[in-house]
A and B are shown apart, each in its own frame.
Chain A
Amino acid sequence: MTGSLFELAEIMPVVNASTAPASQTVPIGFIVLAVILTPVVTLLLISMFGNPRTFRVPALFLGGFVLLVGALVLGFAALSLVLKFFVPQ
């Protein structure tokens, strides 16, 4: 960042292209994802345990979740496949 200012002032000899921009070191997306997913997963776990102690409904819920996400992913694939016939390749 400061490289350009030094360049204008010409106080130091210019070393070309060494003015690398400050870039992120940690993929920020993982932090975003963690911030979003951690509370959701925690709340879902709380919802499944506790009274009344039956695991039939949570099992149905989890089964439904897996089915639904699977269906969405498959839906993506299916839609892509169908549209391949229309879009000029």
Chain B
Amino acid sequence: MDTVITKRERRQRLTDDLLRPLFHTTPVFFLVAGALLIPVLWFLYVWYIQLTQGLGVTGLRTPSGAAWGIYIANFVFYVGIAHGGIAVAAAIRLLKLKGYEPIGRIGEVLTVVSLSMAGLSISLDMGRPDRLFNIIAFWPQRIGSSSLSWDVTVIMLYFSLSALYLWLTMRHDLAECAAQFPRRAWLYRPLLLGYRPDEKAKIDRMAWWLSIAIVFLIVMLSGGVVPWIFGLLPSRPGWFGALAGPYFLTAAISSAMAGVLVVSAMVRGVFHWEAHIKPQIFRGLGIFLGIMTMFYLYLILAEQLTMRYAAPISEFLVSEMLLTGEFAPLFWSMLIGGFFLPALFLILQAFHPRWFGVTRTTIAAMVILLAFWIKRFLIVVPSLLRPLLPFPEGTYQVTWVEWSVTAGVLALAILMFIAFVKLFPMVEVSEE
């Protein structure tokens, strides 16, 4: 009898603790949201300038210069991050990694949010975003050959399945929320359409198979249609090659892990969920991230060696730009400070548990995440600055417009995430 009560009490306390962000909103939240709203509004204004005056307000130019720039780097970056959540959630489900369950949903939300930002980044890069619908309208006749049409297809499919996965696995908690917090029923009711408490078994089964489908789609998206936009084009030295798929996929999974790690640490810190999101989670994620990043370094070595050993002059020149040329400071600081040292630390802490700390791991992950953004920039831009015909050398100076847009998109992503935190339960209220 006694134990039953404590069990129920414990469960109640757990539920209260995990649902607290939904009920209690401190002024700090509004302060943060307001602070994020400033770059978002600024971004909307800057976008207005770009729409009315043209993409000339960016530093992009062609053929002397870069036809694509940080908007495309952002796109690849956000698509990469979008795999973290679902990959973690799927790993939890498929490999039965029960310990990681508390961060599963954080990752899933990250997926939906960052995939939206990827779509937005593409629209921002388009010269005629007002004709966006043409992609859909001419989809049937272009899907047979256009790599961009493949991208749109797979991203839409991936987005839909991820969002549905999130929705299905959240319904149980939503029912609890609706019961505990009737004032917000208007939000939860539509999502609970046709809910029955006994549906969990079916949802678990569906989610298991759905996880496999989504893992497969991760490979086909970040190791498939996204790298194939670049890797299938012999017109651009540095892009062309079969390595593009595994190369992008490794970057995507690594940056996604880093993203989940950083966001989870922040959520944990803000809501004092130290008891629920245990340090072991960060240790495990950190080791995995370290190994993946080291593997990525090996891929960079393979790539650079191929571009230098007996390569066509065009490939060699792009490699020169990276290793000794104008991008060398960025490249080497990324390689050593951004990838190697943090990854080494993350791996070493596996052998020296005393070196481990959640904050340290988070900082290392943040550095790696930033390095992966730089890497996307270094994939997109240098190849474009060296046309195969001897056009005069161009440069790419990122303008304030592009920085404003990049900052605004990031702020929008964070805003969407914290809005979600305030409206939906972020950690699965699991039955113990």
Contact, chains A and B (beta carbon distance below 8 A): yes
Instruction: List, in ascending order, chain B residues with CB within 8 A of A73's CB.
Output: 136
Contact between chains at A87 and B209 (CB < 8 Å) = no
- Within the complex, the shortest CB–CB distance from A46 to chain B, in Å, comes to 5
Q: A29-B146, A43-B216 are in contact. Are A36 and B154 (CB under 8 A)?
A: yes
Q: How far is the CA of A55 from the CA of B230 in the complex (A)?
A: 42
* B205 in the interface (beta carbon within 8 A): yes
Chain B 122-150 near chain A by CB (<8 Å), digits 1 or 0: 01000011111101100000111110011
Q: A29-B149, A72-B156, A80-B129 are in contact. Are A44 and B210 (CB under 8 A)?
A: yes
Chain B 146-168 near chain A by CB (<8 Å), digits 1 or 0: 10011001101101110110011
* A33 in the interface (beta carbon within 8 A): yes
Within B282-307, the residues touching A (CB, 8 Å) are: none
- Within the complex, the shortest CB–CB distance from B215 to chain A, in Å, comes to 10
- Within the complex, the shortest CB–CB distance from B141 to chain A, in Å, comes to 10
* A60 in the interface (beta carbon within 8 A): yes
Contact between chains at B205 and A56 (CB < 8 Å) = no
Contact between chains at B209 and A84 (CB < 8 Å) = no
Contact between chains at A60 and B194 (CB < 8 Å) = yes
> Chain B interface (Cβ within 8 Å of chain A)?
48, 51-52, 123, 128-133, 135-136, 142-146, 149-150, 153-154, 156-157, 159-161, 163-164, 167-168, 193-194, 196, 199, 201-203, 205-206, 208-210, 212-213, 216-217, 220, 224-225
Additional pairs, 15, CB under 8 Å, beyond known A65-B161, A79-B123, A81-B130: A33-B143, A36-B217, A40-B157, A43-B216, A54-B202, A57-B168, A60-B193, A60-B194, A72-B160, A76-B132, A76-B135, A76-B136, A77-B133, A80-B129, A87-B129
